[in-house]
Amino acid sequence: MSADLTELYQQVILDHNKRPRNRGRLPTANRVAHGDNPTCGDQCSVYLRLENGKIADISFDGSGCAISQASSSLMTTQLKGKDAAEAASLYQQFHQIVTTGEAPEAISDLAAFAGVHTFPARIKCATLGWHAALNALKGDPIPATTESRLD
Amino acid sequence: MPSWNTVRDDFPALHQQVNGHPLVYLDNGATTQRPQVVIDAVSRFYAHDNANVHRGLHALSMRATAAYEGARARVARFINAAAPEEIIFTRGTTESLNLVAASWGSRLQPGDVILLTEMEHHSNLVPWQLVAARTGAKLRYVPVTGDEGKLDLSVLDQLLTPEVKVFAFTHISNTLGTINPVAELCARARQVGAISVVDAAQSVGHMPVDVRAIGCDFLAFSGHKMAAGTGIGALYGRRELLDAMPPWQGGGGMIAHVGFFESRWKPSPERFEAGTPNFGDAVGLAAACDYLDALGRAQLRRHDGELARLAYQKLSALPNIRLLGPAEEERGGLVSFALSDVHAHDVVTFADEDGIALRGGHHCNQPLMHKLGLTGTVRASFYLYNTAEEIDVLIASIRRIQKFFG
């Protein structure tokens, strides 16, 4: 296996793919958003319970490749307790990691996704859950298809 | 003359290393590679005969026109059309199907029904959704029988009622590999007075296709899935239908007379070819027809079918795998599968490391994927230059992937 591939499928990513954290619909959620990757058909829904402007609880579900599943899983562990501004700033750092491979210091497990930058086709897999989470925070209107899927 | 013993030598793109391994190109369902004779035919045209076609009175324009119209006649012969005028050059299957939907479909009315199948590529689905929205016609689907991937023809009588004006279906499913009984379907359409539209993107370069034996009204295909260039394809239509259809795009080349407020159209095929056509790639398409016919499409069908059978058999022996489409006879040259623990995109990324080109995802067949409870599959699709050894390389790679994620 090549170094690039080992770097892409790090142990942290494999672990989150196999045992996703915070997976499933959150019964107490008061925000939800859905992300689609039309290229591959991957889907991700993110559920939030916002309390006093902070993410009190978060979960995700959907289907996708190891990168998108692990990224969404890890994201939920990082976003709990954050407010919208903190979440946006964390996403900026994550985006930098997956597009340049350079991780700011003290960014914890998210640095595991540095290997994505050598596989440009997979960047969207890594950011799918994040887009859904940020949309949920903004309270963007939920597309009709999402609502029917949530029924 | 190409020979089956040396076909791999004819395709320059095959002879390269990818990620340190010899390229194993198994993404032919998306696009095939081109043989040197096709590349040469296109370059020779641009180097010697290039000028705009039609209406030109100078030497190069006359040569270009002869080459372009010669290509039309060659394509007509390739599918046994009655006349070159029954071949309209398009950008490919998608444009061909959009042409039928937009032009022939403009006569549809509320109450009319467009019958499709659940295994249609988005290109034979979305154009009909668009025309249904414009005309008030309704869509109806012939169901697919689950993973086995056949059309459920037991309900065809209930679906193919007199309200059906169009029955459009694929010859070979790009997702399942199923070869549909197109001649039978066309005959059934005729019985209720519906026109038949065949998507031959996956079949025309892989097996003998005879539009008069099939009995279809329209048949659409692409050059790039049969060893020719991108941006060239064709729509076959029966002459009497084409002549009764309105233009779908306006511009130069398609008019008999233009006034400030009204115009008159040329007959088919010019009526449907507004603007400067892709004559360079039409010449390449004719060269591809020559190449494939010299090898023999009946043999090509046997070759592809044998590889698909072998791949299906070897993949079936792997654990935690779900194979789609029919097992034996009715399968074209592709296999489509899902591993229970590994997503299709992860498979494709790993196989690429071994030099293998696969495709993973919904294959422009989202509604079918949804019905089967899948978000995507991995597809290995074969062509005349693929070998049994390459299937062994694929199987070994899949085993490694399963071990890694296991």
Phi and psi torsions of B360, nearest 5°: -130, 140
Residue B269: pLDDT above 80?
yes
Our CA angle for B324, B330, B335, nearest 5°, is 35
* Pairing state between β B87-90 and B233-237: antiparallel
In chain B, how many domains are there?
2
Q: Which of A6, A65, A69, A122 to mutate to test the interface with B (most CBs of B within 10 A)?
A: A65
Q: Distance (Å, rounded) from C-alpha A97 to C-alpha A107?
A: 10
The predicted structure's pLDDT at residue B207: 98
Q: Is A40 on the interface with B (CB under 8 A)?
A: yes
Share of residues in chain B with pLDDT > 70 (%): 100
**What CATH class is the domain A3-142?**
alpha beta
Domain check: are B216 and B338 in the same one? no
Q: How many CB pairs under 8 A join A and B?
A: 49
The predicted structure's pLDDT at residue B242: 97
Tell me which of B254, B273, B294 is where a domain ends.
B294
Q: In this predicted model, what pLDDT tens digit does every residue of B270-291 receive, in sequence order? A: 999 999 999 999 999 999 999 9
The predicted structure's pLDDT at residue A150: 34
Residues of A in contact with B20 (CB under 8 A): 2
What six digits make up the tokens of B377?
């599959």
Shortest Cα distance from B349 to chain A (angstroms)? 8
Beta carbons of B375 and A64 less than 8 Å apart: yes
Residues of B in contact with A61 (CB under 8 A): none
The predicted structure's pLDDT at residue A148: 33
Beta carbons of A63 and B360 less than 8 Å apart: no
Q: Is A66 on the interface with B (CB under 8 A)?
A: yes
Q: Distance (Å, rounded) from C-alpha B84 to C-alpha B69?
A: 8
What six digits make up the tokens of B18?
């990818």
Domain check: are B230 and B361 in the same one? no
CATH number assigned to the domain comprising residue B14 = 3.90.1150.10
Domain check: are B302 and B280 in the same one? no
Q: What does the mean pLDDT of chain A come to? A: 86
Q: How far is CA B330 from the centre of its chain?
A: 17
Return the domain boundaries, chain A: 3-142
Domain check: are B335 and B255 in the same one? no
Tell me which of B261, B294, B327 is where a domain ends.
B294
Nearest CA in chain B to A1: B353
Of A1, A41, A66, the CB nearest to B361: A41
The predicted structure's pLDDT at residue A110: 87
CATH number assigned to the domain comprising residue B49 = 3.40.640.10
Shortest Cα distance from A40 to chain B (angstroms)? 5
Beta carbons of B362 and A41 less than 8 Å apart: yes
Tell me which of B294, B316, B342 is where a domain ends.
B294
Active site residue B364: yes
The confidence band for A106, taking pLDDT boundaries of 50, 70 and 90, is low
Beta carbons of B346 and A40 less than 8 Å apart: no
Nearest CA in chain A to B346: A65
In this prediction the ipTM stands at 0.82
Domain check: are B281 and B310 in the same one? no
The confidence band for A144, taking pLDDT boundaries of 50, 70 and 90, is very low
Run of H or E including B191: helix B182-191
Contact (CB, 8 A) for B228 and B34: yes
Of B345, B353, B366, the CB nearest to A125: B345
Shortest Cα distance from B66 to chain A (angstroms)? 41
Domain check: are B287 and B306 in the same one? no
Of A1, A14, A40, the CB nearest to B345: A40
Q: In this predicted model, what pLDDT tens digit does every residue of B69-125 receive, in sequence order? A: 999 999 999 999 999 999 999 999 999 999 999 999 999 999 999 999 999 999 999
Domain check: are B208 and B115 in the same one? yes
The predicted structure's pLDDT at residue B55: 75
The predicted structure's pLDDT at residue A143: 46
Q: Is A9 on the interface with B (CB under 8 A)?
A: yes
Residues of B in contact with A65 (CB under 8 A): 343-346
- In sequence order, the 6+-apart residues with CB closer than 8 A to the CB of A78 are A90, A108, A109, A110
B114 has which bridge partners? B139, B166
The predicted structure's pLDDT at residue A151: 29
Least confident of A76-85, B12-21, B36-45, B359-368: B359-368
Helix residue ranges per DSSP H, B266-375? 279-295, 297-316, 344-353, 366-371
Residues of B in contact with A67 (CB under 8 A): 345-346
DSSP B1: -
Nearest CA in chain A to B406: A18
Cα–Cα nearest to B29, from B219, B261, B199: B199
Contact (CB, 8 A) for B150 and B178: yes
Domain check: are B186 and B318 in the same one? no
Residues of A in contact with B344 (CB under 8 A): 40, 65
The predicted structure's pLDDT at residue A40: 72
Domain check: are B171 and B224 in the same one? yes
Q: In this predicted model, what pLDDT tens digit does every residue of B213-251 receive, in sequence order? A: 999 999 999 999 999 999 999 999 999 999 999 999 999
The confidence band for A142, taking pLDDT boundaries of 50, 70 and 90, is very low
- For residue B361, give its domain range: 4-30+296-405
Domain check: are B304 and B290 in the same one? no
Domain check: are B20 and B126 in the same one? no
Domain check: are B360 and B317 in the same one? yes
Least confident of A33-42, A82-91, B53-62: A33-42
A44 has which bridge partners? A35, A62
What six digits make up the tokens of B309?
């059978």
